[in-house]
Amino acid sequence: MEENKGFENLNVWQKAHSFVLNVYKYTKAYPKDELFGLTSQYRRAAVSIAANIAEGYGKKGINDKLRFYNIAEGSINECRYYVILSKDLGYVNAIESLTLYSELIVVQKLLSSYSKSLVRNTTTNYHLLTTKKLKTMANFYLDNPSMKHHLHHPLMKRIVELKERGFADKDKYDYAPLDFEDAMDSYEKVLEIVGEICGDIIAPNAESVDHEGPTVANGRVTYAKGTQENLDAVRKAGLMGIAMPRRYNGLNFPIVPYIMAADLVSRADAGFENLWGLQDCAETLYEFGNEDQHQRYIPRVCGGETMSMDLTEPDAGSDLQSVMLKATYSEQDGCWYLNGVKRFITNGDADIHLVLARSEEGTKDGRGLSMFIYDKRNGGVNVRRIENKMGIKGSPTCELVFKNAKAELCGDRKLGLIKYVMALMNGARLGIMAQAVGLSEAAYREGYAYATERKQFGKAIIEFPAVYEMIALMRAKADASRSMLYETARFVDIYKALDDISRERKLTPEERQEQKRYSKLADAFTPMGKGMTTEYANQNAYDAIQIHGGSGFMKDYACERIYRDARITNIYEGTTQLQVVAAIRHVTTGTYLNRIKEYEAIEYKPELQNIKSKLVAMTGKYEKLVAMVTETKDNEYIDFHARRMVEAVAHCVFGYLLLQDANEDESFRRSAEVYVNYGEAEVDKICSFVSNFTQEELAAYKQA
Amino acid sequence: MSLKIIVLAKQVPDTRNVGKDAMKEDGTVNRAALPAIFNPEDLNALEQALRLKDACPGATVTLLTMGPGRAAEIIREGLYRGADGGYLLTDRAFAGADTLATSYALATAIKKIKDYDIIIGGRQAIDGDTAQVGPQVAEKLGLTQITYAEEILNVDEAARRITVKRHIDGGVETVEGPLPIVITVNGSAAPCRPRNARLVQKYKRALGAQEKAPAPACHPEGVNQPAYPELYETRPYLNIPEWSVADVNGDLAQCGLSGSPTKVKSIQNIVFQAKESKTLTSSDRDIEDMIVELLSNHTIG
Question: Quick check: B300 contacting A, CB < 8 Å?
Answer: yes
Output the pLDDT for position B71.
95
Residues of A in contact with B295 (CB under 8 A): 1, 125, 128
Say yes or no for a CB contact (<8 Å) between B197 and A60.
no
Cα dihedral across residues A337, A341, A342, A347: positive or negative: positive
Per-residue pLDDT at A563: 98
**Which residue in the set B187, B228, B288 is minimally distant from A125, CB to CB?**
B288
- For residue A525, report the phi and psi dihedrals to the nearest 5 degrees: -80, -30
Q: Which chain A residue is nearest to residue B77, measuring alpha carbons?
A: A193
A423-451 mean pLDDT: 95
Distance CA A6, CA A369 (A): 70
Determine, yes or no, domain membership for B273. Answer: no
pLDDT, tens digit, for every residue of A348-362?
999 999 999 999 999
Cα radius of gyration rounded to whole Å, chain A? 32
* pLDDT at residue B271, as a whole number: 62
Contact B16 A193 (CB under 8 A): no
Task: Confirm whether B108 is domain-assigned.
Answer: yes
DSSP string, B78-95: HHHHT--EEEEE--GGGT
Q: Is residue B287 part of a domain?
A: no
- Whichever domain contains B136, its CATH number is 3.40.50.620
Chain A residues inside the 8 Å CB shell of B35: none
Amino acid at A40: S
When divided into structural domains, chain B yields a total of 1
List all residues 6 or more positions away from A33 whose beta carbon is below 8 Å from its beta carbon.
none
The answer to whether residue A692 scores a pLDDT higher than 90 is: yes
Residue B27: per-residue pLDDT: 66
Distances (CA, A) of A501 to A287, A496, A512: 12, 9, 11
For residues A651-670, average pLDDT: 97
CB-based contact B194 A135, cutoff 8 Å: no
The answer to whether residue B17 sits within a structural domain is yes
State the pLDDT at residue A124.
Answer: 45
B188 touches chain A (CB under 8 A): yes
Lowest mean pLDDT segment, chosen from A57-61, A104-108, A212-216: A57-61
For residue A30, give how far its alpha carbon lies from the nearest alpha carbon of chain B (Å): 44
Report d(CA A515, CA B201) in Å as an integer.
Answer: 30
**pLDDT per residue as tens digits for the range A378-416:** 999 999 999 999 999 999 999 999 999 999 999 999 999
Contact A237/B197, CB-based, under 8 Å?
yes
Most confident of A17-21, A277-281, B23-27: A17-21
More confident residue, A380 or B171: A380
Q: In chain A, what residues touch B228 (CB-CB under 8 Å)?
A: 178, 182
Q: For residue B59, give the amino acid letter.
A: A
CATH tag, A145-302: 1.10.540.10
Judge whether A507 and A501 are in contact, CB under 8 Å: yes
pLDDT over 70 percentage in chain A: 97
DSSP-assigned beta bridge partners for residue B56: none
pLDDT in tens, B115-148: 999 999 999 998 888 899 999 999 999 999 999 9
How far B210 CA lies from chain A's nearest CA (Å)? 22
Q: Let me know if residue B282 belongs to a domain.
A: no
Question: Chain B residue closest to A186 (CA)?
Answer: B201
Most confident of A332-336, A674-678, B126-130: A674-678
Percentage of chain B lying above the pLDDT 70 cut: 88
**Number of Cβ pairs closer than 8 Å across A and B?**
85
What's domain A307-415's architecture? Answer: Beta Barrel (2.40)
**Please, which residues 206-235 of chain A have a Cβ atom closer than 8 Å to chain B?**
233
Chain centroid to Cα A675, Å, comes to 24
Measure CA of the first residue to CA of the last residue in chain A; give whole Å: 74
Q: What is the mean pLDDT of residues B216-224?
A: 60
**Structure confidence at residue A99 as a pLDDT band (50, 70, 90):** confident
Residue A127 touches partner B, C-beta closer than 8 Å: yes
A237 touches chain B (CB under 8 A): yes
Q: What is the pLDDT of residue A130?
A: 40
Q: Is B156 exposed, middle or buried (0-12, 13-18, 19+ CB in 10 A)?
A: exposed
Assign residue A218 a region (left: φ > 0; alpha: ψ between -120 and 50; beta: otherwise): left
- Flag if B204 and A251 touch (Cβ within 8 Å): no
Question: In Å, how far are A59, B288, B290 from B295, measured between CA atoms?
Answer: 20, 10, 8
Cα–Cα distances in angstroms (integers) from residue A561 to residues A196, A556, B173, in the given order: 22, 10, 41
Could you tell me if A694 lies within 8 Å of chain B, comparing CB atoms? no
Task: Report yes or no: A690 and A587 within 8 Å, Cβ to Cβ.
Answer: no
Q: Does B2 touch chain A (CB under 8 A)?
A: no
- pLDDT (0 to 100) of residue A60: 75
DSSP 8-state secondary structure symbol assigned to residue A169: G
Alpha helices (runs of H) in B31-145, residue ranges in sequence order: 40-55, 72-81, 99-113, 133-141
3-state secondary structure of A568: coil
Contact A1 B228 (CB under 8 A): no
Q: CB–CB of A129 and B296 under 8 A?
A: no
Query: Per the domain annotation, does B49 fall within a domain?
Result: yes
- DSSP code at position A419: I
Q: What does the pLDDT average to over B102-124?
A: 95
Residue of A nearest to B281 (CA): A453
> How confident is the model at residue A1, as a pLDDT?
40
Highest mean pLDDT among A178-187, A312-321, B121-130: A178-187
pLDDT band at residue A693 under the 50/70/90 scheme: very high
Please state which of the ranges A218-222, A277-281, A364-368, B44-48 shows the lowest mean pLDDT: A277-281
pLDDT above 90 for A198: yes
Nearest to A439 by CA among A262, A306, A286: A262
Q: How far is CA A7 from the centre of its chain?
A: 43
Is residue B292 domain-resident?
A: no
* Pair A342, A310: CB distance under 8 Å: yes
Tell me: pLDDT of A136 over 60: no
Q: Do B204 and A186 touch (CB under 8 A)?
A: yes
Question: Which residue has better confidence, A422 or A307?
Answer: A307
Are B301 and A175 inside 8 Å of each other by CB?
Answer: no
Q: Please state, in angstroms and rounded to a whole number, the distance separating the CA atoms of residues A262 and A194.
A: 9
Convert the pLDDT of each residue in B239-280 to its tens digit.
Answer: 999 999 999 999 999 998 888 998 888 777 666 565 666 777
- Is it true that domain A7-136 has CATH number 1.20.1440.60? yes
Residue A496 pLDDT exceeds 70 = yes
**Mean pLDDT in residue range B177-205:** 96
Angle at A605 between CA A600 and CA A608, to 5 degrees: 75
Contacts of B199 in chain A (CB under 8 A): 175, 238
Query: Which residues 241-270 of B have a C-beta within 8 angstroms of A?
Result: none
Domain boundaries of chain A, sorted by first residue: 7-136, 145-302, 307-415, 581-704
Band of the pLDDT at A108, cuts 50, 70, 90? confident
Is A193's CB within 8 Å of B187's CB?
no
Q: Is B234 on the interface with A (CB under 8 A)?
A: no
Query: What pLDDT, in 10s, does the model give residues A587-633?
Result: 999 999 999 999 999 999 999 999 999 999 999 999 999 999 999 99
At CB < 8 A and 24+ separation, what contacts does A697-701 make? A698/A636, A698/A637, A698/A640, A701/A640
Q: pLDDT: is B95 or A546 the higher one?
A: A546
Interchain CB contact of A251 with B (< 8 Å): yes
Output the average pLDDT for chain A.
Answer: 93
- pLDDT above 70 (res A643): yes
What pLDDT score does A132 carry? 37
Mean of per-residue pLDDT scores for chain B: 88
Range of the domain at B77: 4-263
Q: How many helices (H) and strands (E) in chain B?
A: 8, 13
Say yes or no: B40 contacts chain A, CB-CB below 8 A: yes
pTM of the model: 0.82
The residue among A142, A185, A236 with the most chain B CBs within 10 A of its CB, best to mutate, is A236
The pLDDT of residue A337 is: 98
Residue A533 pLDDT more than 50? yes
| Assigned CATH topology for domain A581-704 | Four Helix Bundle (Hemerythrin (Met), subunit A) (1.20.120)
Asked if the structure places residue B270 within a domain, the reply is no
* Chain B closest-CA separation from residue A508 CA (Å): 32
From first CA to last CA, the distance across chain B in angstroms is 43
- pLDDT at A125 (0 to 100): 42
Closest CA to A563 of A273, A210, A276, A205: A210
Residue A93: predicted pLDDT: 84
Q: Sort out which chain B residues have CB atoms less than 8 A from A182's CB and list them.
A: 227-228
B196 vs A237: CB contact, 8 Å cut-off?
yes
C-beta atoms of A189 and B228 within 8 A: no
pLDDT digits (tens, 9 = 90+) for A70-98: 899 999 999 999 998 998 898 988 778 88
Whether residue A123 is predicted with pLDDT greater than 60 in this model: the reply is no
